[in-house]
């Protein structure tokens, strides 16, 4: 059964829906431009609703050490997700300095983008294989866009990984079948409007990924 991460949770009801449905990872977005962004205080409260055994992942985009220091001093996170242009060396630095596992997101649009799967596998604890955002996109992720999953067929990964990008309750089973992904990550595919999670869609997604 594929593991599931529901990203961009903003309310205790979102958490109840994700955890109740069986998601193993919850995601909190610390990127102010996002419709899914939460403040440090909001995230601290939300993290308190996540039961032991379910991972609390903080999503950052090219964070400096001060932002990570400030966030981790308040919010009990289990994992850091880096969703910007962080290099493999920066991933290693964040792991060492903050003592948490790091999930590195990478954008895939064509076979030329696949080499980074190996490079980041050397330093990250987990990989998030996502669609590359369009050039004019406001957000580096969470755009509801898929990439050609066939690019991943037969691909080897050095680390555990999640497939992301444009997944929803209708296509997630096929995506898992085709790619062999051991886990999946979703945000906009379980929303009724940008930044508003829909509990029914969350449940349908987790069921379809099982
Ligand atoms: O969700 C955001 O607003 C966001 C902002 C900045 C960086 C990343 C962001 N989201 C990443 C994700 O939620 C997922 O990991 C992934 O990209 C899948 O998103 P979606 O295609 O919407 O399911």
Provide the number of structural domains found in the chain.
1
Which atom, in ligand 1's list, is nearest to the CA of 37?
3
The CATH number of residue 146's host domain is 3.20.20.70
Model confidence band, residue 89 (pLDDT cutoffs 50, 70, 90): very high
120 within ligand 1 shell (Cβ under 6 A) = no
Instruction: Determine if ligand 1 sits within 6 Å of the CB of residue 188.
Output: yes
Q: In the prediction, which pLDDT does 145 show?
A: 96
* pLDDT tens column, 157-207: 999 999 999 999 999 999 999 999 999 999 999 999 999 999 999 999 999
Report, as an integer, the average pLDDT of 82-88: 97
* pLDDT-based confidence at residue 1 (cuts at 50, 70, 90): confident
The model's pTM is 0.96
Distance 25 CA to ligand 1 centre (A): 14
Query: Which structural domain range is residue 62 located in?
Result: 3-209
The beta strand positions in the chain, using DSSP E, are 3-6, 25-29, 55-60, 79-82, 102-108, 126-131, 161-164, 183-186, 191-193, 196-197
Average pLDDT, the chain: 97
Which residues, listed in sequence order, are joined to residue 163 by a DSSP beta bridge?
Answer: 129, 184
Average pLDDT estimate for 85-92 = 98
Q: Is 167 in the pocket of ligand 1 (CB under 6 A)?
A: yes
Residue predicted with more confidence, 50 or 115: 50
């Amino acid at each position: 059964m594929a593991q599931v991460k529901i990203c961009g949770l903003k309310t205790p009801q979102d958490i109840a829906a994700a955890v109740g449905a069986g998601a193993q990872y919850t995601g909190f977005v610390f990127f102010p431009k996002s419709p899914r962004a939460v403040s440090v205080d909001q995230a601290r409260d939300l993290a308190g609703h996540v039961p032991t055994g379910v991972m609390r992942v903080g999503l950052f985009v090219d964070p400096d050490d001060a932002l990570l220091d400030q966030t981790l001093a308040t919010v009990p996170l289990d994992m850091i997700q880096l969703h910007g242009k962080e290099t493999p060396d920066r991933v290693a630095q964040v792991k060492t300095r903050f003592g948490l596992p790091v999930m590195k997101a990478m954008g895939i649009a064509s076979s030329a983008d696949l080499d980074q799967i190996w490079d980041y596998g050397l330093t990250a604890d987990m990989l998030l294989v996502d669609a590359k955002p369009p050039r004019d996109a406001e957000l580096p992720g969470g755009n509801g866009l898929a990439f050609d999953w066939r690019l991943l067929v037969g691909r080897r990964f050095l680390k555990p990984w999640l497939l992301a990008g444009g997944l929803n309750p209708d296509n997630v089973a096929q995506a898992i079948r085709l790619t062999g992904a051991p886990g999946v990550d979703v945000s906009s595919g379980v929303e009724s409007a940008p930044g508003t999670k829909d509990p029914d869609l969350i449940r349908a997604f987790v069921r379809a990924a099982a």
